[in-house]
A and B are shown apart, each in its own frame.
Chain A
Amino acid sequence: MRSKLTPVILFVAVLLLVAFPFVGEKFYIQLIAKVMIMAIFAMSLDLLVGYTGLVSLGHAAFFGLAGYVLAKAAPQYAAANFWTTLPLALGACAVFALFTGFLVLRTSGIYFIMVTLAFSQMLFFVFHDTPFGGGSDGIYIYAKPEIKIGETALLDLEDFKVLYWFTLGLMTLVYLFLHRVLDSNFGRALIGIKTNEHRLRALGFPTFRYKLASYMLSGTLAGLAGYLAALQFGFVNPEILSWHISGSVLMMVILGGMGSLHGAALGAFVFILLQEMLSNQSWFGPVAKHWQLAMGVFIIAVALLLPHGLVGLGSTLKNRRKRAGGHG
């Protein structure tokens, strides 16, 4: 699935993304920034689903938790400190992952899906139904966090272009980070767990610890995405913890191609841009209201025709041609 061209294509894609704010309109620059945040979210989930073999339907818990931590930690009308709120948000996610991980990782398969969903629903109700969480109205974050060293501001996140590049930088870093991690001893063991956990244990790997570490890393990175999302939207409400979000990000991963980092990122791009396009009234008129229908058809088509997702398009076509031609 990974051809020699892949790094080149990815490099060019990043260059294009760097250049985009020089030509794009504000609306689209903000849209792509949102897409890149979701790409971080999707890559974090892919670590769990595509590389460790654990299908979670509760990943929004981390995404939302980090967002709420920022909202609660920020002073009401002044800017929050980036250097304290980000570690706080990520730390909260890591701790939440550690505690829930001990329970959810005792299950597997369909039960894992159920238990992760249950935990995220519990968190949803904590923020939805207690005074602590601000109820269904949510909480506003009036000012974007400040990134300062001493008294000098490094970046002004209020500037939508700066925020865009900042997000792009983080997305690239997360990709490179995960890429390295997955090629390390730790990453190889995770892939081994996905492929044949029973055998890996027989070889002497304490697989539970590996899965817990993977779950915590995945949750923490999802927290990074959630922090950025809350920062960008300037607002959190219980919706960001809901199973809709968990379902969407899972679809992005499957759409793009499980077990491929750039596949997960691609899935986020295609999913959100398609959603934006199909629901565009000036393009599709009254039909646009029913964009979910068209989206559903698209997802079913990919699931049926592309077993390895969009990144597997090339190899799927090649295999098909090989089979049709009988040689190759």
Chain B
Amino acid sequence: MADPVLRVENLTKLFGGLAAVNDVSLDLHLGQVHAVIGPNGAGKSTLTNLISGELTPTSGSIRYLAHGEGEFDLAGLSSDRISRLGIGRSFQKTNIFLPFTAFENCRLAAQSRQQRAWRIFRGASRYADVNAIAEHSLQSAGLAERGQVNAAMLSHGEQRQLEIAMCLATQPRILLMDEPLAGMGPQESLRIVALIRQLAAEHAILLIEHDMDAVFAVAHCLTVMVNGEVIESGTPQAVRASAHVQQAYLGEAHGDTHD
């Protein structure tokens, strides 16, 4: 297999005495969805936050092979720097700009890729390239018709879609998606699953998800976490067959977990 674009090695995060992430290693490859599953409190979001720079690891490394820019250890870099390096994330708990329209949320996200902050006399809405990216990401997430609605007025499910659209608008190479389907209706879930599969062709995706049908539909690789530790990792078929995982998680969880 080709070299991974992102390699997490022996990553640990302690909160006081609690090891929320404990010696976790995993790889992300372009063209693949790597799903991480596990019960509540397993450390999945903490793992995402460590990679995205929201949290600083206690130990371990996160090596990123940036496009044409060489290799970086992301551990300790700020979240904005990591985002600009091409790693985008969506949040488990919807995190959007409520007073802005859905379009403006995405436009702002797309603006982050342009170094034009010094052009203080040009209206922000007058960059055709940025607007096009914003429109396109709204459309991909199924919000094409809702651009002019204030984010606060969107339904819970639509806000979840907007969360994903904003991540897309930053045009990342690596997507970290923290439970993108949680709180979405079945129709929208199908759309997003299809979107993830389509994005996988050109991106590397870390997908955290409780919906096992979705996970097994898109994942190329599957890691199971419990209490901060990886208990199994491999192809979805292999992990499904593992007695260890059956007992620890999948058996009771399949199909019915959602928060």
B191, CB-defined interface residue at 8 Å: no
Are A196 and B108 in touch, CB under 8 angstroms?
no
Are A184 and B111 in touch, CB under 8 angstroms?
no
A199, CB-defined interface residue at 8 Å: yes
Are A186 and B118 in touch, CB under 8 angstroms?
yes
For B91, list chain A residues within 8 Å (CB).
199, 202
A61, CB-defined interface residue at 8 Å: no
Q: Of the 9-residue stretches A137-145, A165-173, A204-212, A269-277, which lies at the interface with chain B?
A: A204-212
User: Interface size bucket, B side?
Assistant: 35 or more
Q: What sequence of 0s and 1s flags, for each residue 115-149 of chain B, a beta carbon within 8 Å of any chain A beta carbon? A: 01111111111010000000000000000000000
Docked pose: A189 CA to B119 CA in angstroms:
13
Docked pose: A187 CA to B120 CA in angstroms:
8
A180, CB-defined interface residue at 8 Å: yes
Are B124 and A203 in touch, CB under 8 angstroms?
no
B242, CB-defined interface residue at 8 Å: no
A181, CB-defined interface residue at 8 Å: yes
Q: What sequence of 0s and 1s flags, for each residue 90-117 of chain B, a beta carbon within 8 Å of any chain A beta carbon? A: 0100011111100010011101111011
Are B124 and A185 in touch, CB under 8 angstroms?
yes
B118 to chain A: closest residue by CB: A186
Are A196 and B112 in touch, CB under 8 angstroms?
no
A192, CB-defined interface residue at 8 Å: yes
| Nearest CB of A to B35, in Å | 22
A148, CB-defined interface residue at 8 Å: no
Are A202 and B99 in touch, CB under 8 angstroms?
no
Are B52 and A202 in touch, CB under 8 angstroms?
yes
For B27, list chain A residues within 8 Å (CB).
none
A192 to chain B: closest residue by CB: B108
Given known contacts A202-B52, A202-B95, A204-B80, is B116 in contact with A185 (CB within 8 Å)? Answer: yes
Are B89 and A184 in touch, CB under 8 angstroms?
no
A318, CB-defined interface residue at 8 Å: no
Are B120 and A180 in touch, CB under 8 angstroms?
yes
Contact partner, A185, options B79, B99, B117, B166, Cβ 8 Å: B117
Are A203 and B170 in touch, CB under 8 angstroms?
yes
Docked pose: A121 CA to B21 CA in angstroms:
46
B78, CB-defined interface residue at 8 Å: yes
B258, CB-defined interface residue at 8 Å: no
Contact partner, B95, options A189, A199, A205, Cβ 8 Å: A199
| Nearest CB of B to A179, in Å | 11
| Nearest CB of B to A270, in Å | 26
Are A185 and B119 in touch, CB under 8 angstroms?
yes
For B156, list chain A residues within 8 Å (CB).
none
Docked pose: A188 CA to B104 CA in angstroms:
9
Interface SS majority for chain B: loop
The residues in B between 53 and 67 inclusive whose CB is less than 8 angstroms from any CB of A are 54
For A181, list chain B residues within 8 Å (CB).
120-121
B45, CB-defined interface residue at 8 Å: no
Docked pose: A234 CA to B137 CA in angstroms:
58
Count of chain A residues with a beta carbon within 8 Å of a chain B beta carbon? 23
Are A184 and B97 in touch, CB under 8 angstroms?
no
The residues in A between 153 and 182 inclusive whose CB is less than 8 angstroms from any CB of B are 180-181
B254, CB-defined interface residue at 8 Å: no
Q: What sequence of 0s and 1s flags, for each residue 183-227 of chain A, a beta carbon within 8 Å of any chain B beta carbon? A: 111111100100110111111111100100000000000000000
Docked pose: A200 CA to B84 CA in angstroms:
12
Given known contacts A184-B119, A185-B111, is B79 in contact with A202 (CB within 8 Å)? Answer: yes
Are B120 and A203 in touch, CB under 8 angstroms?
no
Are B122 and A204 in touch, CB under 8 angstroms?
no
Docked pose: A200 CA to B97 CA in angstroms:
9
Docked pose: A243 CA to B106 CA in angstroms:
41
B223, CB-defined interface residue at 8 Å: no
B83, CB-defined interface residue at 8 Å: yes
| Nearest CB of A to B49, in Å | 10
Most buried by A among B54, B79, B122: B79
| Nearest CB of B to A284, in Å | 42
Docked pose: A188 CA to B54 CA in angstroms:
23
Are A203 and B116 in touch, CB under 8 angstroms?
no
Are A205 and B97 in touch, CB under 8 angstroms?
no
Contact partner, A206, options B80, B95, B104, B127, Cβ 8 Å: B80
| Nearest CB of A to B83, in Å | 4
Docked pose: A185 CA to B116 CA in angstroms:
7
Contact partner, B124, options A187, A201, A202, Cβ 8 Å: A187
For A210, list chain B residues within 8 Å (CB).
117
| Nearest CB of A to B153, in Å | 15
Are A198 and B95 in touch, CB under 8 angstroms?
yes
For A199, list chain B residues within 8 Å (CB).
91, 95-97
Q: List 18 A-B contacts (CB under 8 A).
A: A180-B121, A185-B117, A185-B119, A187-B124, A188-B124, A192-B108, A195-B97, A196-B96, A199-B91, A199-B95, A199-B97, A201-B83, A202-B52, A202-B54, A202-B91, A203-B170, A204-B83, A205-B112
